[in-house]
Amino acid sequence: MSESLHIVCPHCHVTNRVASERLSAPPGTVQMDCGRCHRPLFAGEPAVLDEGSFVRHVERSHIPVVVDFWAPWCGPCRTMAPAFAQAARTLEPSVRLAKLDTEAHPAIGARHAIRSIPTMVMFRQGREVARISGALGAADIARWVRTAGGA
């Protein structure tokens, strides 16, 4: 029985409907492109969000969304960036990884009470289900996401 899931495009942020079995296929075996911008729905890299696209991804995605709250002046954030990108390649397409620059978009950080960075927050169906602060390596990011029920 096929179920259709809402997947938000990481490029143009429009909501696509994708059959659930396509998401459970081995990574890299199924090409899924956005119906509007025709770019890959899963590009093996974190989506870069602003206020508007943050709300779209968090509220509309049927898969968990893990947001890395970071800032350009934060050394540990910059150190973690390649590990977070590597975790995206490991965890997609069962999870969406995304980044929110708290310096460029402070309202989102304030709304979610981000007190230190980097902080990763997992959202499901618009609600926060887990968070962790401090820089992690790729394997620890993937482990935390799976333990939190994200993959």
CA atoms within 13 A on the CB side of 48: 5
Least Å from the CB of residue 40 to Zn ion: 9
CA distance 48 to 89: 15
Q: Which of 9, 34, 37, 77 is catalytic?
A: 77
Query: Is 37 a known active-site residue?
Result: no
Distance between CA atoms of 102 and 140, rounded to whole angstroms? 23
Closer residue to Zn ion (CB): 19 or 37: 37
In angstroms, the CA 135 to CA 149 distance is 20
Residue 24 is encoded by which pair of tokens?
């459970």
113 torsion bin: left (phi>0), alpha (psi -120 to 50), beta (else): left
In the complex with Zn ion, the residue whose CB is nearer, 111 or 143, is 111
51 or 128, CB closer to Zn ion?
A: 51
Whole-number CA gyration radius for the chain: 14
Shortest separation between residue 117's beta carbon and Zn ion, angstroms = 16
Nearest residue (CB) to Zn ion, 71 versus 132: 71
Contact residues toward Zn ion (CB under 5 A) are: 9, 11-12, 34, 36-37, 51, 105
CB of 74 to Zn ion, least distance (A): 17
74 assigned to active site = yes
Rounded to a whole number of angstroms, the minimum distance from the CB of residue 101 to Zn ion is 8
Could you give the residue numbers annotated as active site?
74, 77
